[in-house]
Structure 1
Amino acid sequence: MDMQRDRQLTDGSADDLQTMQTFHYSQELKRTLKLFASFAVAFSFISITTGIFTNYSFVLNTAGPLGIWTWPIVGLGQFFVGLVFAELAGKIPLSGYSYQWVSRMAGPGWGWFVGWVGVCFLVLVVPAVDSGLAPILASVLGIEPTQSHLNMIVIGILLIQALLNIYGVRLASSINNIAVFTEAVGIIGLTVLLGILAVIHHAPIQLLFHPGAEHQGYQLSNFVMASLIGAFTLVGFEAAANLSEETIHASKTVPKAILTSLILSGVFGTLFLIAATLSIPDVALITKSDNPLPAVIEANLGSWIGTAFLVLVIISIFACGLVIMTSGSRLIYAMARDNAFFFSSLFKKISPTTGVPVPATVMLLIIGILATLFSNSLTLLVGAASVLPAILYLITVASYTWGGHRLPDLTHAFSLGRWGRVVAWLAIVWLVVEIGILTIPSEFHKVTLVAAALLAIGVLFYFGLFRRRIVAGEAGVHPVE
């Protein structure tokens, strides 16, 4: 019995093995993730703690406390996207998620391009997350938050995350599972305590609709730009799909993980934002603070309790960066395995000991360090890490409306049935609006230029290096018979 259990933890179920054969791949990664671990991957990637603590200052300075109401709006839009992704993850449970799906629905060229967008997003979002963690860690440790100190902290965090990933997915998953509990305790605990104090202190409900300290000439655009907090945070649920080849019963498990993580993140995030905003002692003073949320927590709970909760926050944000690095390495591996990435023979290598794509992980580490050293704006990193997944989602969902009928019909896989096209069109409308929000305002024009430059570079790489390989059948996914 023990040998049979160990084999399942390596190869997966009979359905998993059959799926790999259907798509002409061999089982190289180790299947160790069950439902909770798969959910933990998606929930930690989303990490409402990370997104809210990183962007709450931006919301207050842009739209005031009123801006928190963009969160449930973004949450609903992303849930439509999540429904489509859940079906795709059930029908094509492979590492590489959108790269695999779009290649089969819209063609290998579009598949390569969406894979490129995914790599750019994952490369940028790791240092963006760790840059949000650095000032909180500096505050707890009593380190002066100069730019050089913060950069050193970020680089140190990146190194630890890379080493944990290289050691093996089981260790990274165990840390991630623990972080789910710390995030739940931190967010739910803070929500309850701050909510009780808000009731005791008779916090005015009008505070939730306050337009901010500087509300002269307040416009709709101020509120719209605050959507960045949800757009940056409520993404990455597809990370569970990116680890499909390491998940047991992936076609059933991953869709549940995606949808559950989105629902809980949307609800918990909304409640926390309400409780935290009602607890603001002075809007003008908190808005000017370098770290508004820690200031609100300390003002209400005192330094000792506040620090204890901030330790839980640090663990959650660290796990977020850890799982993003894991997901990024799997996407690079999946493309390299199909000869659709740079130096594919190197980046498709898997450690025989740990079952981890070590070269891909090291690449993410190096680029993360470079992004940290040469990016002077956290908002620029956050903005680019928000618009890129929106573009990736739009291409994927549009491909679903075009070629979703070409997908294999795996037994018991999650399916939207006749509602699929309706949900997909709702998702498309939302994503077009979201991309407009993240690119049109003048404050986001630098973000737009960064995203446009990365997309243009991808087009050049495709036509210059990869198109010939793909057309000749030397690269790209194998068709399913």
Structure 2
Amino acid sequence: MSKPSIKNNDTRDMQHYHYTQELKRTLKLFSSFAVAFSFISITTGIFTNYGFVLNTSGPAGIWTWPIVTIGHLLVAIIFAELAGRIPLSGYSYQWVSRLANPGLGWFAGWIAFCFLVIVVPTVDYALAPIIAEMFGWDTGSSTLVWIVIGTLVVQALLNIYGVKLATRINDIAVYTEVIGMVGIILVLGVVVLVKGGDWSMLVNPGTAVSTGGSYLGAFILAALMGSYTLVGFEAAANLSEETIDAKKTVPRAMILSVILSGSIGFIMLIVISAAITDLPAVLSAANPIPYILQNRLGTAVSAIFLAMVLISIFACGLIIMASASRLIYALSRDNVFFGSSIFKKVSPQTSVPTNAVLLVLILGILAVLFADSLTLLVGATAVLPASLYLITVAAYAWRRKELPTSDHFDLGKWRGPLTFITIAWLLFEIGILTVPADFHKVAFVAAGLMVLGVILYFLFFRKGIMEGRIGIQDRTFAIEKKQDKASF
């Protein structure tokens, strides 16, 4: 297919949903994949949460990772089918509004907004202690806060400059992340094989059963690492309006990002765990993985890998901020966000919703200043996307039999079985992230944000949406099904 044909198809898709193409389409397959892969950022998730896993369930807790990978791959497959039919910024907000109703769609958008705003500073928190240690700065909380705020400002400036620069940095970060993670796997793996490693660590529960209790509860807690990390693949769908041939490109990008992230991350966890020679010393370290790398590889080699890790984590925060701004733009474009007239504006010079980026920056700084703990932020950013996924997949399940066929990505006869397996998984995941006593505070924060969303909806948006003054007005699903079997 020639480029003009693809461009015309993308333009027709926008017109089909009664939107004007305001954002610049520059993302091809690799860049779309890079968006999803960098948002997931296995380096960020593993470096942030590996210490938590060691302290709660020991090195054996890494076996929750492949379980979460499979569960989230199922979600990515269903999201891929939706992204191939509704290639619009706003992802779940757009999808649920059309599959279910505008009210539930707005609520999905609210959850996505809360998740994206909170997750940016949690990512930059993973960056802060590494930067502090590399420069010999104090690793106290006040120092880390200022590093995070400074990082947020730089990321905002890069996003404001333009999506092309941000994605170029992001593309480079994919290479550094893959090279860094694969490099750690190969180099550290050779050291473990040659100098010896403790493979029994792979089944070591640490101190989790020191009191003689059941290990199951401790093991379940370790799922937080995978649940926090293996999310965000839908960012590729959120940037659909900046993607060339989005219906074909975005589904492939999302699925590939989860498969590659899950595979590399699990091998990395195995090698890192086997490299532990003194578990108590690792547990007492401020940053377990940098400690293990320095202990087994030396300061110089570990510094090279940590530099690559820094680039990957920075790019992760950069692309999440971009994704958050596009969601705000999508909501504001339909006048279902506060100050919509301000946040739907797109810079004519850079084709970027600048005001939306600035809002993400301000809210991110506030989250850093007023959050009780990093663990609380991380926990909330695991529960919120799982809840969003459940709402989206449930809405999809309700209308799954009415979905028209597609030439790009179609589940066919597998649609029904995969849908209900995915719903069962998400219910289970939300349970393990909220039921254990250790996560009750996290559950309270996530529930509080959702209740706030319901209140805001009824106070400020429901009447306008019901009267047809705001929101997505054209949801002609049944008509499209009859007249255009290639679209949603």
TM-score, normalisation: structure 2:
0.95
Percent of residue pairs identical: 56
Matched, 1:260 2:260: no
Distance 1:170 1:129 in 2: 22
CA pair 437-421 structure 1, distance change in 2 beyond 3 A: same
Displacement after TM superposition at 1:405 (Å):
4.3
For 2:287, the equivalent position in structure 1 comes to: 291
Structure 1 residues 218-272: Cα deviation after superposition (integer angstroms, max 9, x where no partner)? 5211000000000000000000000000000000000000000000001000000
CA contact (8 A) 1:50 1:132 kept: yes
CA contact (8 A) 1:105 1:407 kept: no
For 1:100, the equivalent position in structure 2 comes to: 94
Matched position secondary structure for 2:410: coil
Displacement after TM superposition at 1:413 (Å):
2.3
The CA RMSD over aligned residues, in Å, is 1.3
Q: 5 Å matches for 1:51-130?
A: 51-130=45-124
Displacement after TM superposition at 1:181 (Å):
0.3
For 1:232, the equivalent position in structure 2 comes to: 228
Distance 1:408 1:473 in 2: 27
Distance 1:404 1:14 in 2: 28
Structure 1 residues 447-475: Cα deviation after superposition (integer angstroms, max 9, x where no partner)? 01100100000000111111101101112
For 2:443, the equivalent position in structure 1 comes to: 448
Matched, 1:350 2:346: yes
Matched position secondary structure for 2:414: helix
Matched position secondary structure for 1:339: coil
Q: 5 Å matches for 1:148-159?
A: 148-159=142-153
Matching residue within 458, 461, 468 for 1:473: 468
CA contact (8 A) 1:12 1:31 kept: no
Displacement after TM superposition at 1:404 (Å):
3.2
Structure 1, unaligned stretches of length 5 or more? Answer: none
CA contact (8 A) 1:57 1:291 kept: yes
Distance 1:15 1:366 in 2: 37
Matched, 1:430 2:425: yes
Structure 1 residues 55-93: Cα deviation after superposition (integer angstroms, max 9, x where no partner)? 000000000000011100000000111110000000101
For 1:31, the equivalent position in structure 2 comes to: 25
CA pair 289-215 structure 1, distance change in 2 beyond 3 A: farther
- Letter of the 1:381 counterpart: L
CA pair 240-304 structure 1, distance change in 2 beyond 3 A: same
CA pair 420-229 structure 1, distance change in 2 beyond 3 A: same
CA contact (8 A) 1:121 1:385 kept: yes
Matched position secondary structure for 1:91: coil
Displacement after TM superposition at 1:310 (Å):
0.4
Matched position secondary structure for 2:319: helix
For 1:192, the equivalent position in structure 2 comes to: 186
CA pair 406-334 structure 1, distance change in 2 beyond 3 A: farther
For 2:459, the equivalent position in structure 1 comes to: 464
Matching residue within 373, 376, 392 for 2:372: 376
TM-score, normalisation: structure 1:
0.96
Distance 1:348 1:408 in 2: 31
Matched residues, number = 473
CA contact (8 A) 1:91 1:409 kept: no
Distance 1:148 1:408 in 2: 54
- Letter of the 2:276 counterpart: I
CA contact (8 A) 1:105 1:406 kept: no
For 1:221, the equivalent position in structure 2 comes to: 217
Displacement after TM superposition at 1:203 (Å):
1.9
Matched position secondary structure for 2:226: helix
